[in-house]
Structure 1
Amino acid sequence: MHKDKLGNIIYVGKAISLRNRVRQYFQSSKNMAPKVRSMVSQIAEFEYITAGSEMEALILECNLIKKYRPKYNILLRDDKTYPYIKITNEDYPRVIKTRIVKKDGGKYFGPYSDAGAVNKIVDLLNSSFALKRCSAASFPEGFRPCLNYHINQCRGICTGEVDRAAYAESVEGAREFLNGRNRPIIARLEKLMGEAAERLEYEDAAMYRDYIEAAKALSATQRVVIQHSKDIDIVIPARGTEETHMVLFFVRDGKLVGRESYEMEASSEEDSRELTAAFINQHYSRLPNFPKEILLTQLPAEKELLEEYLSELAGHNVKLTKPQKGEKKALVDMAYRDVLEMVKTIDERAANARERRRNLGAEIFSILKEMGKVSGEYDGREFRTESYDISNTNGVDTVGAMVVFNGLKPDKSSYRKFRIRTVYGQDDYKSMREVLTRRFNRVFQGDQAFEVLPDIIFMDGGKGHVSTALEVIDATGFDIPVVGMVKDDRHRTRALIYRREGSDEYDEIPLRGKPMLFRYIGRMQEEVHRFAIEYHRSLRNRSASRSVLDDIPGIGKTRKAALLEHFKSVDAIKSVDVDSLKDVEGMNLRAAEAVWHYFHKNEQ
């Protein structure tokens, strides 16, 4: 592991001979790639771990890269936001949407990039096959079925009258659909859509239409590509002028059923075989299952080692193959042509994003220039911005939120939440003062999560909010520009307001003629408002779910739930004696006496 002078791990690698591997970095640099030269210039120390075998070293390298995400390694960008569809491993399996993959015996399908389509498909499958929707694993005697049962959207597992074999057959139907065999359901939906339209029931027809579109979005048009039905993945690198992606094609039962692309953090000098090896190592190590064969356009140098590693993960033999002829070669060629077209789209998208970034940067630069904070001409840099908001309900559970944007993109890993500690009641200015004070104090405390300062702060308010922010910033000694967002009658930001340098006077900068900045500010306002409200709601819901029983020693969540289920209310619990409390499931004499004494201590 290579470390810089701050002790940060900047590269993780493995080798049979570490001496030879390290020595090559400190020979003549004229033949080195720019990335390697840059890395070598930052190496301050080494740390190494001795592994028992090449396989152990490969697994360790994979885990360390995931943990530290060194900037000079090829990195698979985290796809945790992509949803999966899961068939749970239960007596009566459910079809649910999830973003977390576990080795729990469930069957996962995905990941999918279209979250909206996933939601519709989960709803469609649950409705079409009348599957269990609730997460309850068991039902007490006398349990009453929920609304889904009464409107024929669930068979009523809770009634105990559902035939398990018939239910398993329905689950298998859902599994077949998710494996790409969706024509029967689509045909039925098209028929229902036509019938609804004939009856002039256009809302129902539109619902069926949305289901059909979701099914097609989730599973690409089925094309038979292999005569003998097989499950295969195809992995192909896609290099654009600015971005590098790995494209993964899914072939199930001999049919091409989908494609996903994964952005890679890699330099332009990286060899395609290294890219492929890094992707396979990082991507498949977090999947619960995958096919027995992966087709490639370039075989990695450590092919045999990767095959052994993947086989161990999957529990069956996995082969990495570069086909030379036949139907598999034709399949890879078809996928490769698709990737070439995709690269054109990637380049166009990158060019558009580059232009938008530059336009936004130029507009922010013009604001800073008008404020007297910068001079000269715009050099193309991107600006880091922060925005803050306060949320409460009638002064209760007041919270603050901070969101961060780097250029056009929100930097969600830098978002921060603050629970207001010193302000009671509704006072936005005092609450904002506390939030900003705590934010900048963390810088002086050496907290790395707060050490990067913004180029400019956007306050969701006018003069009062700008003045409050500047009071805090001036006290810290930092020089950070602050602007307020002035709204019109429609609650849209019409201008930015700032305080003149060395004066108590304020000036406005109209946003007319700055369309990029106008949209950017609107997005930032929505994001900070959303983040603050979500945190406030989570605190409010947590407070609402509290009970006086939480204050009684020895009464945890399980006993509290048992008492409330048995007696139905806290008043009823107060009115009973110790013996009645002790008879409740999960209670004992000591816990029963604690409850009784808590409610009757004043009488004693």
Structure 2
Amino acid sequence: MSKLSSNAIHDPQAFDERLRNVPQAPGVYLWKDANGKILYVGKSKSLRERMRSYFGAPRGLSGKTRRLVAQIADFDYILTTTELEALVLEMNLIKQHRPKYNVLLKDDKSYPYIKITLQETWPRIFTTRKVLDDGARYFGPFASAGSVRATLKLLNKLFHFRPPFDCSDVKFERHRKAGKPCMYYDIRRCLGPCVPGLTSVEEYRKAISDACLFLEGKSEQILRELRHKMQQAADTLEFERAAYLRDQIAALEKVLERQRVLKTGATDQDVIAFAREDGSAVVQVFFVRGGKLIGAEPFTLEGTDDTDSRELITQFLTQFYDSAASIPSDIVLAEHPEEAEIIERWLEQKGGHRVSITVPRRGEKKQLLDLAARNAAQKLDELRLKWLNTSQRAIGALTELQQLLDLPGLPHRIECYDISNTQGTHTVGAMVVFVGGAPRKSDYRRFKIKTVAGANDVAALQEVLRRRFRRAQQAQGELVAIAHAGDAHQPPPDLADASDPAALADPRAEGQEVDERWAELPDLIIVDGGKPQANAAQAVLDELGFGHLPVVGAAKGPNRDRFDLQLPGAPAPIVLPRSSTALHLVQQIDEEAHRFAISYHRNLRGKATFASPLAEIPGIGPKRKQALLKRFGSLDAMRQASVEELAAVPGMTHRAAEELKRLL
């Protein structure tokens, strides 16, 4: 019998029997805790042997693995035909479940890419976070949006395509209709495709093609063509064009001089090195194309405590290249990953060409690898300093808040509420959550006010708080009868108007799903406003049995140059001095709540004012409405358009256009 030292296993004998029956075959295994949550996903060419190894002598396990084993209560496994299938399945399961004990590429779903819309007549180049099979070309991923913006700015300076941040289709069509280009044409940052006659489709698409070649590292080809065109322009006495091309060549040569890193061969390779310390790890990737360094991106890893270096490299390679837009023929590493041959076969399948993993010991590649390692170490130091400073500032601010408000402990979880409306219409509420001084956006919530008419922020705030803490009661299974059930001015609970007292006591009795996250209570509640808001919030908390939770109002000073904290029932507010660390934290929380509330309010208001008139017109469905808004941009533009222009919109008919024109 295995040494099942895990405290979470309910029946060790039955668990061990299941382990004995696991096949000696390739596949993927999933360790789970007592609640069925996946703790770790792994793969092996021999599942039984690998899974039983977790329950051997504890001294042979790393600290991270011992912590994992202590939480294991159950497992699943999936058989595969080959080790390569197991690798792909493991990768997909890690991406889907993001288990706590796996090495994870931080925020891998949100990395930005450069997108080139080759399928369009006048292609655009811009940033995106989704890679679609839509005929466009993608480059990336990049570690941050800042690096993408810098790359796009450089590309636009060199090749003069449509400005990546300021040329929407609506603006493009507006200038085409006016027959006049925008300022980017005047400052030589755009060829002016919006105005017929300024450039041809062939010339513009050549600029886009050159941008692609530049991102591929094939800049020498671009230079040869530009020099040839400059000579032709000079020979035909087109000196202004020749000077324009000369400046473009000089700018490109200046960039290439900074990029050139390899003296031998026009090779395509990714050079990957990592640095790690105290459970943190940063991977630095150098993108070398055609012997030139075209990009360098640092990526942060999570869950690297006590992880073997070879496993760390393996997990990074599979997660990074699963979403990479392209794979080079050569990947340079400091050491071989686990099952290097399987990784190579998988990369070859994804890239459609031969891929080799090399570990240089000397020469130019080793020097480049050492440079990448130094960059990774530098980035790790920067991140650790940033994390340390952020943590210290947060603890200082929370400690000051605790002292100012006489709280029993540090306010680890803070919830802040704000109300937004326009003259009493489209009133909404917002709840933002800060944990440890940092925003936890997954816990943000927004509320559409249902029972308050007109501009009454205090009543709207009370509705939001009642709904939030009714949900807390539901999640805790402690929902009690409503004391104000006969009061028409109070909102109903957030159940589906349950009339059965049993359903009110336990919403699960009606088969309703309850979000358990509502059960997590704040250590401090901040409401935007002064004494009226603070007193109203306290009244709701007392009413629902949460009066023990601290609540405070955050009000800007008379000249909006400070923040005052107003305790319920207190005669005067607490004025936070400018040097206060608590001031900066409260200001950050309050502004985030305001931003979240007003963005939701604007969204509702925009839908009501922009879409409703179209929705009420017979014959204008969602597709026609979307096409009309895309073509004209606003209702005013539609009013000014002729029936023929309206009928020319895809999906419209002449009859529908006439009816739309009549009603607008």
Fold agreement, TM-score > 0.5: yes
Kindly report which structure 2 residues correspond to 1:9-24, keeping only aligned pairs within 5 A, or say none.
9-24=38-53
Kindly report which structure 2 residues correspond to 1:408-557, keeping only aligned pairs within 5 A, or say none.
408-443=437-472, 444-445=474-475, 446-478=514-546, 479-499=548-568, 504-505=569-570, 508-512=573-577, 515-551=580-616, 555-557=620-622
Report the Cα offset of residue 471 of structure 1: 2.5
Which residue of structure 2 aligns with residue 377 of structure 1?
none
Which residue of structure 2 aligns with residue 96 of structure 1?
126
Q: Is 1:263 aligned with 2:300? A: yes
Report the Cα offset of residue 71 of structure 1: 0.8
Report the Cα offset of residue 98 of structure 1: 2.0
Q: Is 1:240 aligned with 2:270? A: no
Residue in structure 1 matching 2:209, options 131, 147, 172: 172
The answer as to whether partners of 1:243 and 1:350 remain within 8 angstroms in 2 is no
Q: Read off the aligned partner of 2:591 and give its amino acid letter.
A: E
The answer as to whether partners of 1:82 and 1:113 remain within 8 angstroms in 2 is yes
The answer as to whether partners of 2:284 and 2:375 remain within 8 angstroms in 1 is no
Kindly report which structure 2 residues correspond to 1:576-591, keeping only aligned pairs within 5 A, or say none.
586=651
Q: 1:537 to 1:462 in 2, by over 3 A?
A: same
Which residue of structure 2 aligns with residue 69 of structure 1?
98
Q: 1:489 to 1:456 in 2, by over 3 A?
A: same
Residue in structure 1 matching 2:351, options 295, 303, 314: 314
Q: Read off the aligned partner of 1:543 and give its amino acid letter.
A: A
SS at match of 1:424: coil
Report the Cα offset of residue 549 of structure 1: 4.2
Report the Cα offset of residue 58 of structure 1: 1.5
Query: What CA distance in whole angstroms lies between the structure 1 residues aligned with 2:81 and 2:438?
Result: 43
Query: What CA distance in whole angstroms lies between the structure 1 residues aligned with 2:313 and 2:202?
Result: 44
- Structure 2 unaligned runs (5+)? 1-29, 224-249, 476-513
The answer as to whether partners of 1:582 and 1:588 remain within 8 angstroms in 2 is yes
Q: 1:327 to 1:437 in 2, by over 3 A?
A: same
Provide, for residues 546-567 of structure 1, a one-character-per-residue CA deviation record: whole Å limited to 9, x for no partner.
Answer: 2444235653134457889899
The answer as to whether partners of 1:219 and 1:258 remain within 8 angstroms in 2 is no
Report the Cα offset of residue 264 of structure 1: 1.3
Query: What CA distance in whole angstroms lies between the structure 2 residues aligned with 1:253 and 1:543?
Result: 53
Q: 1:568 to 1:436 in 2, by over 3 A?
A: closer
Residue in structure 2 matching 1:349, options 382, 386, 390: 386
SS at match of 2:118: coil
Q: Read off the aligned partner of 2:181 and give its amino acid letter.
A: N
Residue in structure 1 matching 2:317, options 274, 280, 287: 280
Query: What CA distance in whole angstroms lies between the structure 2 residues aligned with 1:146 and 1:114?
Result: 37
Q: Is 1:253 aligned with 2:290? A: yes
Q: Which moved more, 1:174-183 or 1:407-416?
A: 174-183
Q: Read off the aligned partner of 2:453 and give its amino acid letter.
A: Y
SS at match of 1:5: coil
Which residue of structure 1 aligns with residue 360 of structure 2?
323
Q: 1:361 to 1:558 in 2, by over 3 A?
A: closer
Report the Cα offset of residue 130 of structure 1: 4.4
Q: 1:13 to 1:477 in 2, by over 3 A?
A: farther
Overall identity of the aligned pairs, in %:
40
Q: 1:5 to 1:507 in 2, by over 3 A?
A: farther
Which residue of structure 1 aligns with residue 73 of structure 2?
44
Report the Cα offset of residue 348 of structure 1: 3.2
Q: 1:465 to 1:447 in 2, by over 3 A?
A: same
Residue in structure 2 matching 1:33, options 62, 73, 80: 62
Which residue of structure 2 aligns with residue 228 of structure 1?
265
Query: What CA distance in whole angstroms lies between the structure 2 residues aligned with 1:585 and 1:245?
Result: 49
Residue in structure 2 matching 1:305, options 342, 367, 377: 342
Which residue of structure 1 aligns with residue 328 of structure 2?
291
Report the Cα offset of residue 584 of structure 1: 9.6
SS at match of 1:47: strand
Provide, for residues 316-374 of structure 1, a one-character-per-residue CA deviation record: whole Å limited to 9, x for no partner.
Answer: 22222211232212221222233334444344334333432332342233245x14x34
Query: What CA distance in whole angstroms lies between the structure 2 residues aligned with 1:220 and 1:243?
Result: 35
SS at match of 1:24: helix
The answer as to whether partners of 1:149 and 1:156 remain within 8 angstroms in 2 is no
The answer as to whether partners of 1:240 and 1:347 remain within 8 angstroms in 2 is no
The answer as to whether partners of 1:233 and 1:294 remain within 8 angstroms in 2 is yes
SS at match of 1:288: coil
Query: What CA distance in whole angstroms lies between the structure 2 residues aligned with 1:585 and 1:348?
Result: 55
Query: What CA distance in whole angstroms lies between the structure 2 residues aligned with 1:440 and 1:483?
Result: 17
Q: Read off the aligned partner of 2:594 and give its amino acid letter.
A: H
The answer as to whether partners of 1:250 and 1:256 remain within 8 angstroms in 2 is yes
The answer as to whether partners of 1:180 and 1:219 remain within 8 angstroms in 2 is no
Report the Cα offset of residue 426 of structure 1: 1.0
Coordinate RMSD, CA, aligned:
4.0
Kindly report which structure 2 residues correspond to 1:125-274, keeping only aligned pairs within 5 A, or say none.
125-126=155-156, 129-132=159-162, 144=177, 147-148=180-181, 152=185, 153-156=190-193, 159=196, 162-178=199-215, 221-241=258-278, 243-274=280-311
The answer as to whether partners of 2:273 and 2:376 remain within 8 angstroms in 1 is yes
Report the Cα offset of residue 398 of structure 1: 1.4
Q: 1:405 to 1:146 in 2, by over 3 A?
A: farther
Q: Which moved more, 1:306-315 or 1:252-261?
A: 252-261
What is the count of residue pairs matched by the alignment?
Answer: 551
Query: What CA distance in whole angstroms lies between the structure 2 residues aligned with 1:127 and 1:325?
Result: 38
Report the Cα offset of residue 30 of structure 1: 3.5
Q: 1:89 to 1:233 in 2, by over 3 A?
A: same
Which residue of structure 2 aligns with residue 365 of structure 1?
402
Kindly report which structure 2 residues correspond to 1:86-125, keeping only aligned pairs within 5 A, or say none.
86-90=115-119, 91-112=121-142, 115=145, 118-119=148-149, 122=152, 125=155
Q: Read off the aligned partner of 1:526 and give its amino acid letter.
A: E
Q: 1:146 to 1:320 in 2, by over 3 A?
A: farther
Q: 1:220 to 1:585 in 2, by over 3 A?
A: closer
Report the Cα offset of residue 174 of structure 1: 2.9
The answer as to whether partners of 1:3 and 1:10 remain within 8 angstroms in 2 is yes
Which residue of structure 2 aligns with residue 396 of structure 1?
425
Q: 1:486 to 1:50 in 2, by over 3 A?
A: same
The answer as to whether partners of 1:95 and 1:125 remain within 8 angstroms in 2 is no
The answer as to whether partners of 1:389 and 1:400 remain within 8 angstroms in 2 is yes
Q: Read off the aligned partner of 1:94 and give its amino acid letter.
A: R
Q: Read off the aligned partner of 1:522 and give its amino acid letter.
A: Q
Report the Cα offset of residue 119 of structure 1: 4.2
SS at match of 1:12: strand
Query: What CA distance in whole angstroms lies between the structure 2 residues aligned with 1:323 and 1:388?
Result: 57
The answer as to whether partners of 2:426 and 2:601 remain within 8 angstroms in 1 is yes
Which residue of structure 2 aligns with residue 201 of structure 1?
none
Report the Cα offset of residue 239 of structure 1: 0.8
Provide, for residues 41-90 of structure 1, a one-character-per-residue CA deviation record: whole Å limited to 9, x for no partner.
Answer: 22222222222322222112111111111111111111455433322222
Q: 1:497 to 1:542 in 2, by over 3 A?
A: same
SS at match of 1:11: strand
SS at match of 1:285: helix
Q: Which moved more, 1:151-160 or 1:86-95?
A: 151-160
Report the Cα offset of residue 219 of structure 1: 9.9
